[in-house]
Amino acid sequence: MNYRLLAENIVKKALKSGADEAEVYLVADRDFELDVRNGDVETIKQATSKGLGLTVFKDKKLGFTYTSDFSDASLEEFIKKTVQLSLVADPKPWNGLPDFKKGKLQDLDLYDPSISEIPSEKKIEMAKEAEKIALAYDKRITKSQGGSFGDSERETVIVNSKGISYSSKRTGVYFGVSVVAGEGDEMQSGGWGCSKRHFKDLDTIEDVAKKAGKRAVEKLGAKPVETQQVPVVIDRYAAPAFWYGILFAMNGDSVYKKTTFLTEHLDKPVASELITLVDDPTVLRHNSSVPFDGEGNLTQKNVLIGEGVLKMFLYDTITARKAGVKVNTIARRYGYRSPTSAGFLNAIVQNGIVPREKIISEIKNGYYVTGLRGIGTDIPTGNYSCGSSGFWIKDGTTAFPVDGVTLGGNALDMLKNIEVLANDLELRGSLNSPSFKIAELAVGGEK
Amino acid sequence: MKSFFKPITRRKFLKSGIAGGAIIATYPVWKLYSFSTPPSDFYVNPACNLSKETLEKLIEIALQKGGEFAEVYVEYNVGNQIYLEEDKIYGAGRGVDMGVGIRVLHGEKTGYAYSDDLSFERLKQTAEVASHISSEKGAQEYTGLKSSQVPSYYLVKVSPDSIIPQEKAKLLWKANSIGREYDERISQVNIGFSDTNKKIIIANSEGTWVEDVQTISRLFVSINAMEGDKRSRGYAYKDGTLGYEHYDLKVAEELAKDAGRMALAMLPAEDAPAGEYPIVMAKGHCGTFFHEAIGHSLESDGIRKKTSCFWDKEGKMIASPISSLADDGTVLGVRGTINVDDEGTPGQKTILINKGKCVNFLYDRLNAKLMKARLTGNGRRESYQHYPLPRMTNTYLMAGEDDPEDIVKSVKKGIYIARIGGGNVTWVTGRFVFSVPEGYLIEDGQITKPLKGIQLMGSGPEVLKNIVMVGPDMEILGGGTCGKNGQGKPVSDGNPTLKVSKITIGGAKV
């Protein structure tokens, strides 16, 4: 089916039904997932699905609906209902489609045609192999939570009545494994996976599986520590949870409502000079790259924090108009079931220069955090309090595993106290950071 | 259905506060044995009403490669939402999800496929894809479907889907004006009303053929307060498997006042102390703790795979002798209530921990079969796009005998948890962290100052052993969407007033 044509027709019909402006965001997916456990296939799931969200504006009032029922009769009714729904809302002067014009989409190399041709046997083999290697990693690994493989193909379409009309296709491929290590009564789980747009870009099965095994075993014997103030190193894989809090606090709508601790900090230093944070959804072949954002704006690189100075907040068109600011908008879309919101697409904290091992080796008594439970930051106040796990550092080496310990402080102080940035940045998801060291932080444990 | 306005951060448990009108779980005396009939005003696309013949044909196709069990799940789901912020109706939204999921089981294997195209040709292909999980010769014997009806535990007379958004908007405006007038320090008032109306049909190769209409509605009020550089937030909600007849201006007013009360109570909050303290949990509002830190570890998939900390604990003492835990899908009108689970098994009550002893687990069909256990009505899935997993419904710590006042008085220095917030639990170890949106210091048996930044930390199995006092005042006032393996599912939870002798508090103050 030509989904772009369908979307264009729906936009036209919405205008005919009385909408002043209309936008269709359509997603069509093909998904395959399989799990193996103890060397045998456990589940295989496959499907195709689709759905569209329709946004209309009538007299500056917003109406939003979605559906996965694409039959002609249902769509007619659906369009009428959307226009009717908009009448319930209050008019707002900032409501309406964005003003940007249609441009040329960049080719970000997000589609790998070979993925649809991978034979099932090979997918099963990869998941089995990953499980086998992870189970064999250490004799204390006794149970498997399963190996998995998945691949997907997605077409995203956006069409609006101001002339925007784009379609983009991307593929995804994934495999991973999770195992449990045990010693006495204690159990610890560890897992790892790798997800890419191109099959060729996947890490080796051996690397992924061994990492899963290592992550289970190294946690055995974890214990809390006494309450104290020490230098803390946040590992690159734990760091995204911290940055999520900072990025939530940069949401333009929260700034407008003065419900974020960063409200008064635009163009001021908010972090150590080492920190440059960008949003860059144009990295070739990357998982979180997209050629257009949730409202059909061509994507680009934006500097959010430059050498410690807060350069911009995150706005989509409507929140920017409401706040009366002129900025590059970044609109996020959580699938076709929700309208746009301000957000980041692919945030990256720029890489540092010091090897992580060297940072740790220079700490006499400190805490290397490899797991954070939640974002920790209270957005209105910037208070930071977060459960964590990791390793205690004694005389420059990791001495024993730690769990059940909170980090407490203030997000702004933490940002400003980032002393060293490691050189271990790895792009995995939509939020990426190297490991970093905070000069001192309250670690709350047993007493 | 997902929230289409204001996407919320994905947490393990999207959690909020309390119900205004107390939904009291005085089961089972109130069970109404009416039969589950869809409210007539809830429109279902006729394409979803697959005939008996079509369902039987699809099951036959699904079994043709020798699968042991086949099942067809049909869903039509309409969601509505209306939202008010900054003294304006932000917008009204509506969404429709429709599709069919077909599952084939063979030994420990699951084949699953789904389609949102309901033409017979596409459904046939879907059944074929699922059938391939087995490659035995010869199809299973299959004798056809027998329609069955189930008692209803929902309190729905008027489908919220039949109420026009203009009418729902009146509730929002009422809560908004009450919230704004509550105190001059109130800075923001946000209110939303949402409802989901889902018709499901489940048919399987064992002859089960059952339909259900599941309605969930929710009125939510969130209030921010501000004074100098202090900020706080309060919230309140009413939700459940409830029809629109349960909502009126009075309900909206009570919720707004309760949210306002909480916001102002927390405005002067001081940093919580870090360290080990006894805690008291307020009745009704702390059940999420038991859902997250204990309940998930009693789901049969982790037990069978031996990856739960309770996998070898059946028949053993895992809690103090005054602690009992139950899961009950038949509590009238609360959010996690189900007439049937998503495999067609009737909802039921299951005691999991009886006076400290682990006596049962929560089963879906696959795990019950492999573990040779009785079905408990806990096979649940988010939608036709997902296969069922063992999941909780309404989970609660059962009532005890200690006087709630004595419980608070018994604490010299400790923390009073008025409402528990979102949690994060590693199920293999039972290790958890919970935030506490409303908590207070207890000094010499008295509740004193409000505290912010409280983080409860520890392991579920340890806390169970440290429950030293339990009150008789059990209520189910918590409700949210629980996440597991990427599937969200509505649940409720509850607890009586109780005391835990010691728990680690992580706070900003060291």
Which of B14, B75, B96 should be substituted to probe chain A, the one whose Cβ sees the most A Cβ atoms within 10 Å? Answer: B96
Average pLDDT over chain A reads: 95
Average pLDDT of the residues in B477-496: 93
Collect all residues with Cβ–Cβ distance below 8 Å to B103 and sequence separation of at least 6.
Answer: B62, B70, B71, B73, B110, B111, B112, B130, B387, B388
Asked if A182 is an interface residue toward chain B (Cβ–Cβ < 8 A), one would say no
Q: Is the pLDDT of residue B57 over 50?
A: yes
Asked if B114 is an interface residue toward chain A (Cβ–Cβ < 8 A), one would say yes
Q: Which amino acid is at A61?
A: K
The pLDDT assigned to A353 comes to: 97
Residue with tokens 């009939």: B37
Q: Is the pLDDT of residue A312 over 70?
A: yes
Within this chain, do residues A206 and A270 fall inside the same structural domain, yes or no? no
Q: How far is A36 from chain B, CA to nearest CA, in Å? A: 9
B3 chain-A contacts, CB cut-off 8 A: 338
B11 chain-A contacts, CB cut-off 8 A: 374
From A168, A196, A217, the end of a domain falls on A217
Which of A144, A187, A217 should be substituted to probe chain B, the one whose Cβ sees the most B Cβ atoms within 10 Å? Answer: A187
Taking a contact as any Cβ pair under 8 Å apart, which residues of chain B between 49 and 88 contact chain A? 82, 86, 88
Asked if A145 is an interface residue toward chain B (Cβ–Cβ < 8 A), one would say yes
Asked if B422 is an interface residue toward chain A (Cβ–Cβ < 8 A), one would say yes
Of all residues in chain B, the one with the smallest CA distance to A73 is B45
Q: Which two tokens stand for residue A26?
A: 């359509």
A35 forms bridges with which residues in the sheet? Answer: A43, A148
Average pLDDT of the residues in B336-349: 97
Within this chain, do residues A79 and A156 fall inside the same structural domain, yes or no? yes
Note the helical H segments in A194-238. 205-217
C-alpha to C-alpha distance for A194 and A173, rounded to whole angstroms: 8
Asked if A183 is an interface residue toward chain B (Cβ–Cβ < 8 A), one would say no
The pLDDT assigned to B41 comes to: 60
Asked whether the beta carbons of B243 and B426 are under 8 A apart, the reply is: no
Interior angle at CA A406, CA B464 and CA A141, nearest 5: 65
Range name among A330-339, B131-140, B385-394 with the lowest pLDDT average: B131-140
pLDDT band at A13 (very low <50, low <70, confident <90, very high): very high
Interior angle at CA B37, CA B25 and CA B127, nearest 5: 105
**What CA dihedral angle connects A310, A315, A317 and A320, to 10 degrees?**
-60
Average pLDDT of the residues in A92-100: 95
From A175, A200, A217, the end of a domain falls on A217
Q: Is the pLDDT of residue B30 over 60?
A: no
pLDDT in tens, B219-271: 999 999 999 888 899 999 999 999 999 999 999 999 999 999 999 999 999 98
Contact A65 B95 (CB under 8 A): yes
Within this chain, do residues A233 and A361 fall inside the same structural domain, yes or no? yes
pLDDT band at B22 (very low <50, low <70, confident <90, very high): very low
Asked if B170 is an interface residue toward chain A (Cβ–Cβ < 8 A), one would say no
Within this chain, do residues A262 and A351 fall inside the same structural domain, yes or no? yes
Average pLDDT of the residues in A176-186: 93
The pLDDT assigned to B508 comes to: 53
CA distances from B195 to A21, A69, A278, B80, B221 (A): 27, 19, 39, 5, 15
Backbone angles phi, psi at A438, to 5 degrees: -100, 130
Q: Is the pLDDT of residue B398 over 90?
A: yes
Q: What is the CATH number of the domain that holds A160?
A: 3.30.2290.10
Question: When comparing pLDDT for A239 and B276, which is higher?
Answer: A239
pLDDT in tens, A392-419: 999 999 999 998 888 988 999 999 999 9
Q: Is the pLDDT of residue A321 over 90?
A: yes
Q: Is the pLDDT of residue B26 over 60?
A: no
pLDDT band at B272 (very low <50, low <70, confident <90, very high): confident
* Structural domains of chain A, count: 2
Collect all residues with Cβ–Cβ distance below 8 Å to A427 and sequence separation of at least 6.
Answer: A283, A286, A287, A348
Q: Is the pLDDT of residue B2 over 50?
A: no
Average pLDDT of the residues in A219-247: 95
Closest to A442 (Cβ–Cβ): which among B109, B429, B510?
Answer: B510
Closest to B306 (Cβ–Cβ): which among A90, A143, A385?
Answer: A143
Within this chain, do residues A58 and A186 fall inside the same structural domain, yes or no? yes
The pLDDT assigned to B10 comes to: 31
Q: What percent of chain A has pLDDT over 90?
A: 88
B232 chain-A contacts, CB cut-off 8 A: 380
First to last CA, chain B: 42
Q: Which domains does chain B have, with CATH numbers?
A: 32-266 (3.30.2290.10), 270-506 (no CATH)
Asked if B173 is an interface residue toward chain A (Cβ–Cβ < 8 A), one would say no
Number of neighbours of residue B464 by Cβ within 10 angstroms: 24
Within this chain, do residues A199 and A344 fall inside the same structural domain, yes or no? no
Within this chain, do residues A204 and A226 fall inside the same structural domain, yes or no? no
C-alpha to C-alpha distance for B33 and B151, rounded to whole angstroms: 5
Q: What is the DSSP letter of B6?
A: S
Taking a contact as any Cβ pair under 8 Å apart, which residues of chain A between 294 and 353 contact chain B? 334-335, 337-339, 341
Asked whether the beta carbons of A342 and A315 are under 8 A apart, the reply is: yes
Asked if A74 is an interface residue toward chain B (Cβ–Cβ < 8 A), one would say yes
ipTM for the predicted complex: 0.89
C-alpha to C-alpha distance for A124 and B134, rounded to whole angstroms: 15
- Residue B210 buriedness (CB in 10 A; 0-12 / 13-18 / 19+): buried
C-alpha to C-alpha distance for A60 and A66, rounded to whole angstroms: 20
CA distances from B427 to A143, A362, A446, B302, B483 (A): 14, 35, 22, 8, 13
B82 chain-A contacts, CB cut-off 8 A: 88
Contact B116 A337 (CB under 8 A): no
Asked if A386 is an interface residue toward chain B (Cβ–Cβ < 8 A), one would say yes
Within this chain, do residues A327 and A233 fall inside the same structural domain, yes or no? yes
Helix (H, G, I), strand (E, B) or coil at B292: helix
Q: Is the pLDDT of residue A345 over 50?
A: yes
Closest to B307 (Cβ–Cβ): which among A145, A229, A444?
Answer: A145
Interior angle at CA B167, CA B161 and CA B170, nearest 5: 135
Contact B428 A90 (CB under 8 A): no
The pLDDT assigned to B246 comes to: 97
Asked if A398 is an interface residue toward chain B (Cβ–Cβ < 8 A), one would say no
The pLDDT assigned to A285 comes to: 97
Q: Is the pLDDT of residue A112 over 90?
A: yes
From A217, A244, A260, the end of a domain falls on A217
Within this chain, do residues A370 and A238 fall inside the same structural domain, yes or no? yes
The pLDDT assigned to B27 comes to: 27
Within this chain, do residues A299 and A402 fall inside the same structural domain, yes or no? yes
C-alpha to C-alpha distance for B209 and B72, rounded to whole angstroms: 9
pLDDT band at A76 (very low <50, low <70, confident <90, very high): very high
Which residues span the domain enclosing A382? 222-447
Q: How far is A42 from chain B, CA to nearest CA, in Å? A: 4
Within this chain, do residues A87 and A8 fall inside the same structural domain, yes or no? yes
The pLDDT assigned to B14 comes to: 30
Closest to B4 (Cβ–Cβ): which among A66, A78, A384?
Answer: A66
The pLDDT assigned to B28 comes to: 28
Within this chain, do residues A193 and A338 fall inside the same structural domain, yes or no? no
Asked if A429 is an interface residue toward chain B (Cβ–Cβ < 8 A), one would say no
Contact A408 B506 (CB under 8 A): yes
The pLDDT assigned to B7 comes to: 36
